[in-house]
Structure 1
């Protein structure tokens, strides 16, 4: 590829479909808007796959044995299922502020207006010797933590991670990138009222929630957010990304896999919830967080080989604990 064509190629997060005839030109398109017909079709699919629910006994079993289902998942897939999230620094540059290689994400102007608070509540910059602590809830096998450690060379950065699955933590610790001088991971059920963690309350700069809250029973989500607030330092930030209502994954569910509204059990009995912006807003604002970002990220993924289009819907948000 020559330099001129490379310059014209949009970077990740900046590729917009302006001509529908060019849909198969690339593998993905950003900020794709839905029309009323597409929205109605999605609603109808969800209505159909929500008709048959699990029994109360089945629901209790899914909750009581949730850790076993995730252990079985990681026992089968090891570290091969999820890809490392190198897109993190385009979406959340706060995770590695010394990484300047990632492009800046461009959102629709209407999406930007949904944020009520700009980062004016961010703590004042400190000197270069100040320790910076990040904690990821639901770290899995390290697909977020390892990229941060690779891209950020900040010697004062330390990353904690926890997961519900002891198997996931075991696999992560065996990875050659796992450096105990820079990170520590442990098993934790984040829905517990009291956390047993290796750091103090009001001590964390950033807490990461990426495709993890959706795996939790909706009735227990407020407990997680309450504990997040306890351990974030004043001015600390939560970065959030998870499944949105009418995402492709929700539309693909068959009858009989629905637990409750927008909450499903996959074939392997791991669970997943699909959020609206308003639900995320309520969860965090009820705990006094300030909203800096809350938007719907609609992406069109394309299988050019099979000429298929797949619409993904994610909620992305940032919430800050008041100073």
Structure 2
């Protein structure tokens, strides 16, 4: 099981993990149990791929706008979103869901015009039905970024692209084409902002035997999928598409809910990627 690697900060140690997370014995055992039944069969894997949009649309039908909280942390983590306040910049959000990223930005009064897309028609409709939806500031549309030319949906190249917990929902074999798709939407000097699930994130240990689609790639009970990134592979993925890496790394956050007795470590990969000037 290749994801069980030694902590690179301590070559003499037999500890499993990386520089932000060392696994305990129960967590190592959990990953071993996930492998005990092997991978889900090829027929089911292909079915999940074909029905990816359908499964996310069902997710939004079931949960509506209640599942994800509004993301009020984004301008703290990505100050590039703030700008000078005078120039109107264009932002493309891929995988916009129901608007938990874009509406907090507009509520802060940022001078942005936002393109937003999702491959769930129901999610797109939820964005349009939001009380703060404004056609002069938002253009939202349905798009499958694994298949469609995203740049053809835009009137011009954009200044910033956000991909927040989006790439992990895509089959790893399609990620290269998706990142190239993003590249062609961005103006030279523009930036892609990424945060996504990282290797050894708490959620990775929730999967049981019979849920594994591939290395670090899992299916949830509702048919949606999740991939857990290594920092290095995220770097290579974008560099091979022509991006320059401004910053990239694992980030650790604690999820605390005293009422439910939850105190767990989340691990994400966070990156800022620049399209070089020509």
* TM-score, structure 1 normalization: 0.76
| Whole-angstrom CA distance in 1 between matches of 2:113 and 2:104 | 13
What is the CA distance between 1:225 and its match in structure 2?
0.5
- Residue 59 of structure 1 and its aligned partner are, at CA, apart by 0.5
What does the per-residue CA deviation read over 1:87-107, in whole Å, with 9 as the maximum and x for residues that have no partner? Answer: 0111011112358xxxxxxxx
- 1:124-273 aligned within 5 A: 128=86, 130-154=87-111, 157-192=112-147, 194-195=149-150, 197-200=152-155, 203-273=157-227
Determine the C-alpha separation between the residues in 1 that align with 2:35 and 2:144: 28
1:43·1:246 contact (CA, 8 Å) conserved in 2?
no
Q: Deviations over 1:116-163 (max 9, x none)?
A: xxxxxxxxxxxx4x5411000000000011011111342xx2100000
Residues 193-244 of structure 1 show CA distances to partners (whole Å, capped at 9, x for unaligned) of 533643246x110000000000000000001100111110000000000000
**Cα distance change of structure 1 residues 39 and 235 upon mapping to structure 2, 3 Å threshold:** farther
Is the 1:74–1:167 contact (alpha carbons within 8 Å) kept by the matching residues of 2?
Answer: yes
How many residue pairs get matched? Answer: 258
Distance 1:51 1:84, change over 3 A: same
Match of 1:72 among 58, 72, 81: 58
| 2:10 alignment counterpart | none
Call closer, same or farther: CA 1:33–1:225 in 2, change over 3 Å. Answer: closer
The answer for the alignment partner of 1:116 in structure 2 is none
User: Structure 1, unaligned stretches of length 5 or more?
Assistant: 1-31, 100-127
Counterpart contact for 1:98–1:152, Cα < 8 Å: no
**C-alpha deviation, 1:189, in angstroms:** 0.2
User: How do 1:31-110 and structure 2 match up within 5 A?
Assistant: 33-35=20-22, 38=23, 41-52=26-37, 53-97=39-83
Partner of 2:252: 298
How far is 1:39 from its partner? 5.8
Tell me the SS of whatever aligns to 2:147: coil
How far residue 192 of structure 1 moved from its aligned partner, in angstroms, is 1.1
Deviation, 1:43, is 3.9
CA-CA distance at 1:51 after TM superposition: 3.2
Report if the CA contact (8 A) 1:49-1:254 is conserved: yes
* Paired residues of 2:21 and 2:200 also in contact (CA < 8 A): no
SS in 2 for 1:267: coil
Greater relative contact order (Cα < 8 A, sep 6+): 1
Q: Measured at CA, do residues 207 and 153 of structure 1 come closer, stay the same or move farther in structure 2, by a change above 3 Å?
A: closer
Q: Cα 1:187–1:306, aligned 2, differ >3 Å: closer, same or farther?
A: closer
Q: Name the counterpart of 1:4.
A: none
- State the Cα distance separating 1:171 from its structure 2 match: 1.3
Give the superposed CA RMSD: 1.9
Dislocated runs of 4+, deviation >4 Å: none
- Secondary structure, aligned partner of 1:152: coil
SS across alignment from 2:256: strand
Q: Larger Rg: 1 or 2?
A: 1
Contact 2:150–2:185 under 8 Å retained in 1: no
The structure in which a higher percent of residues are strand is 2
Q: Give SS of 1:291's match.
A: strand
Specify whether residues 224 and 39 from structure 1 end up closer, same or farther in structure 2 by C-alpha distance, changes over 3 A only. Answer: farther
Whether the 8 Å CA contact 2:168–2:196 is kept in 1: the answer is: yes
